[in-house]
Amino acid sequence: MIFTHVKPPELQELETETKDGKRFYVTPEGKKYPSVTTVSSFHSAKDIQRWRKRVGEETANKISTQAAVRGTAVHKLCEDYINNVEDYKEKHMPVNIQAFNSIKPLLDKHLNNIVMQECPLYSDYLEVGGRVDCIAEWDGVLSVIDFKTSRKIKKKEWIKGYMMQESAYCVMFEERTKIPIRQIVTVITVDNEEPQIFIEDRDNYIWDFIDVRKQFKSYYGS
Q: What are phi and psi of 134, to 5 degrees?
A: -160, 135
Q: What is the C-alpha to C-alpha distance for residues 100 and 18, in angstroms, rounded to an integer?
A: 30
Task: Please name each of the domains of the chain with its CATH number.
Answer: 15-217 (3.90.320)
Q: How many CA atoms within 13 Å lie on the side-chain side of 12?
A: 13
Per-residue pLDDT of 34-57, as tens digits, reads 999 999 887 665 554 564 556 576
Instruction: Give residue-wise pLDDT tens across range 143-187.
Output: 999 999 998 999 999 999 999 999 999 999 999 999 999 999 999
Residue type, 198: F
Under a CB-based contact definition with an 8 Å cutoff, are residues 221 and 138 in contact?
no
How far is it, in rounded angstroms, from Cα 56 to Cα 98?
A: 29
Q: Is 35 within 8 Å of 23 (Cβ atoms)?
A: yes
Look at the pTM and tell me if it is higher than 0.85.
yes
More confident residue, 128 or 57: 128
> Is-contact 36 169, C-beta < 8 A?
yes
Asked whether residue 31 carries a pLDDT value surpassing 90, the answer given is yes
Query: What's the pLDDT band for 222 if we cut at 50, 70, 90?
Result: confident
Question: What average pLDDT does the chain have?
Answer: 90
Instruction: Collect contacts of 25-28 with beta carbons under 8 A, ≥24 apart.
Output: 25/120, 25/122, 25/128, 25/129, 25/130, 27/122, 27/124, 27/129
Q: Look at residue 87 and tell me whether its pLDDT is greater than 90.
A: yes
Q: Where are the alpha helices (DSSP H) in 145-205?
A: 160-177
pLDDT of residue 60 exceeding 50, the answer is: no
CA neighbours within 13 Å on the CB side: how many for 88? 21
pLDDT at 159: 93
Q: Which is nearest to 100 in space by CA: 79, 85, 83, 115?
A: 79
Share of the chain above pLDDT 70, in %: 88
Burial class (CB in 10 A: 0-12, 13-18, 19+), 140: exposed
Tell me the average pLDDT across 194-203. Answer: 97
- With a cut of 70, say whether residue 105 has pLDDT above it: yes
Distance (Å, rounded) from C-alpha 10 to C-alpha 6?
12
Cβ atoms of residues 154 and 163 within 8 Å: no
pLDDT at 193 over 60: yes
Around Cβ 67, how many Cβ atoms within 10 Å?
14
Q: Which has the closest alpha carbon to 144: 181, 108, 109?
A: 181
